């Protein structure tokens, strides 16, 4: 398979007949010039409008199913109104835009770039063929970028699924920690909801909780499953698991927003936790929530080194650690959750 390149040829080719182009220009003769040139070059669907703010709206009003592959926008460099219209268009249209002026204008080109538009052409100087080439290039570049992004996200999602399986494998080694991460995710989401997080944040918090102990993959089993107390050396190895997780997962952009919570789920409100001894709100909220949910699930489930705690003792312990190990406000929310969901004492 040496030399194999996975990019399919067909992605490089622009289907001119079906590409939907919109030309926005305030000067009628230039609108006509663009339209004639593009149609001559084989672009089958070219709509033209004056370059006014409601032009796109008008375009979609005519047929809501329309989509726009590329906009050619004729800028009048001397008109601030024209620049404002282009700026507004950039705000509502994320696809490729080709900005044109009649004459080459370096300042205008710079302003176009500053608006995040890479494609610029002095169409009056370079003519029809240059316009054809620029449009083709912009469409191709956009198509390839979209393809890379889609593939990248698909691949990253697959990684997340594989990682979730790895968490299950990791937990299944110890019958007492089976489902631990998913239980921590459940409690974390409940606390987060009480704290007022939106649904999207709750999903991300839940995912961070699923991966919170992922770094234990780098801790020897003899330490993980030790029945008695850990020695200082063993504990030092154990304390590395939050940063191991951060390092292992840092290459996945899809999880980047979760890493601070994962790396700091063993910090304590009073600063006596690890790895960085962060105090109070220095620890990210999701990390503070996971710390509480993690401690609770550990208290109420059996471990190789301990029996589950009675619910009454758990409540005493939560009160004891309120404002020291855990944020007081979160403990209050959590006790309300326990009152509601855990009736059995």
Q: In angstroms, what is the minimal distance from the CB of 214 to Fe ion?
A: 9
User: Judged by CB under 5 A, which stretch of 4-12, 207-215, 297-305, 330-338 contacts Fe ion?
Assistant: 207-215
Cβ-based nearer residue to Fe ion, 156 or 164: 164
Cβ-based nearer residue to Fe ion, 213 or 267: 213
Q: In angstroms, what is the minimal distance from the CB of 90 to Fe ion?
A: 45
User: Judged by CB under 5 A, which stretch of 14-22, 164-172, 205-213, 226-234 contacts Fe ion?
Assistant: 205-213
Cβ-based nearer residue to Fe ion, 119 or 213: 213
Please, how many CA atoms are within 13 Å of residue 333, restricted to the half-sphere of its CB?
19
- DSSP letter for each residue of 189-211: HHHHHHTT--HHHHHHHHHHHHT
Q: In angstroms, what is the minimal distance from the CB of 238 to Fe ion?
A: 9
Q: In angstroms, what is the minimal distance from the CB of 227 to Fe ion?
A: 19
Instruction: Count Cβ atoms within 10 A of the Cβ of residue 21 and give its class: 0-12 exposed, 13-18 middle, 19 or more buried.
Output: buried
Q: In angstroms, what is the minimal distance from the CB of 221 to Fe ion?
A: 16
From CA 273, how far away is CA 252, in angstroms rounded?
26
How many residues contact Fe ion, by CB under 5 A? 1
Cβ-based nearer residue to Fe ion, 136 or 213: 213
Quick note: the x/- pattern for Fe ion over 119-158, rule CB under 5 A, is ----------------------------------------
Please provide the distance, in angstroms rounded to a whole number, between the alpha carbons at the two ends of the chain.
63
| Nearest by Cα to 202 from 182, 157, 194 | 194
Q: In angstroms, what is the minimal distance from the CB of 258 to Fe ion?
A: 14
Cβ-based nearer residue to Fe ion, 86 or 185: 185
Q: In angstroms, what is the minimal distance from the CB of 171 to Fe ion?
A: 12
From CA 295, how far away is CA 161, in angstroms rounded?
26
Residue 15 to residues 20, 23, 42, 94, 276, Cα–Cα distance (Å): 10, 18, 9, 20, 55
Q: In angstroms, what is the minimal distance from the CB of 216 to Fe ion?
A: 7
Helix (H) or strand (E) holding 6: none
Quick note: the x/- pattern for Fe ion over 310-329, rule CB under 5 A, is --------------------
Number of residues that make up the chain: 345
How far out from the chain centre does Cα 220 lie? Answer: 32
User: Judged by CB under 5 A, which stretch of 83-91, 202-210, 213-221, 272-280 contacts Fe ion?
Assistant: 213-221
Cα four-point dihedral sign 233, 234, 237, 238: negative
Cβ-based nearer residue to Fe ion, 213 or 297: 213
Cβ neighbours of residue 241 closer than 8 Å, sequence gap 6 or more: 213, 215, 216, 218, 219
Q: State the DSSP code for 326.
A: B
**Residue at shortest CB range from Fe ion:** 213
Q: Does 297 bind Fe ion (CB under 5 A)?
A: no
Among 35, 213, 267, 297, binds Fe ion (CB under 5 A): 213
Please tell me whether residue 213 adopts helix, strand or coil conformation: coil
% helix / strand / coil in the chain, to the nearest 5?
60, 10, 35
Cβ-based nearer residue to Fe ion, 140 or 301: 301
Cβ-based nearer residue to Fe ion, 136 or 294: 294
Cβ-based nearer residue to Fe ion, 139 or 263: 263
- DSSP letter for each residue of 17-61: TT-EEEEE-SSHHHHHHHHHHHHHTT--EEEEE-S-TTHHHHHHH
Q: In angstroms, what is the minimal distance from the CB of 264 to Fe ion?
A: 10
Binding site for Fe ion (CB under 5 A): 213
């Amino acid at each position: 398979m040496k030399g194999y390149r996975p990019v399919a040829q067909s992605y490089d080719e622009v289907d001119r007949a079906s590409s939907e182009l919109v030309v926005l220009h305030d000067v009628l003769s230039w609108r006509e010039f663009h339209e004639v040139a593009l149609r001559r070059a084989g672009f089958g669907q070219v709509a033209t409008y004056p370059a006014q703010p409601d032009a796109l709206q008008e375009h979609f009003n005519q047929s809501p199913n329309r989509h726009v592959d590329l906009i050619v926008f004729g800028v009048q460099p001397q008109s601030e109104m024209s620049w404002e219209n282009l700026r507004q268009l950039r705000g509502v249209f994320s696809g490729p835009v080709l900005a044109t002026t009649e004459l080459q204008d370096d300042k205008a080109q710079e302003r176009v770039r500053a608006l995040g538009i890479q494609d610029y052409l002095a169409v009056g100087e370079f003519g029809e063929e240059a316009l054809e080439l620029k449009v083709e290039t912009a469409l191709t570049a956009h198509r390839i970028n979209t393809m890379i992004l889609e593939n990248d996200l698909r691949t990253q999602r697959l990684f997340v699924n594989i990682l979730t399986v790895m968490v299950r494998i990791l937990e299944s080694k110890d019958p007492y920690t089976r489902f631990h991460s998913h239980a921590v995710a459940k409690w974390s989401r409940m606390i987060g909801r009480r704290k007022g997080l939106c649904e999207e944040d709750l999903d991300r918090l839940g995912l961070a909780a699923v991966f919170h102990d992922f770094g234990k993959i780098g801790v020897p089993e003899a330490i993980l499953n030790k029945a008695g107390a850990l020695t200082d050396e063993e504990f030092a190895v154990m304390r590395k698991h939050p940063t191991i997780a951060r390092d292992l997962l840092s290459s996945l952009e899809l999880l980047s927003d979760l890493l601070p919570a994962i790396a700091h789920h063993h910090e304590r409100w009073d600063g006596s936790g690890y790895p960085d001894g962060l105090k109070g709100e220095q620890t990210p909220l999701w990390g503070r929530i996971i710390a509480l949910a993690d401690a609770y699930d550990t208290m109420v489930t059996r471990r190789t080194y301990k029996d589950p705690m009675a619910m009454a003792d758990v409540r005493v312990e939560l009160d004891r650690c309120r404002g020291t190990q855990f944020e007081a406000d979160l403990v209050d929310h959590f006790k309300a959750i326990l009152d509601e969901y855990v009736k059995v004492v």
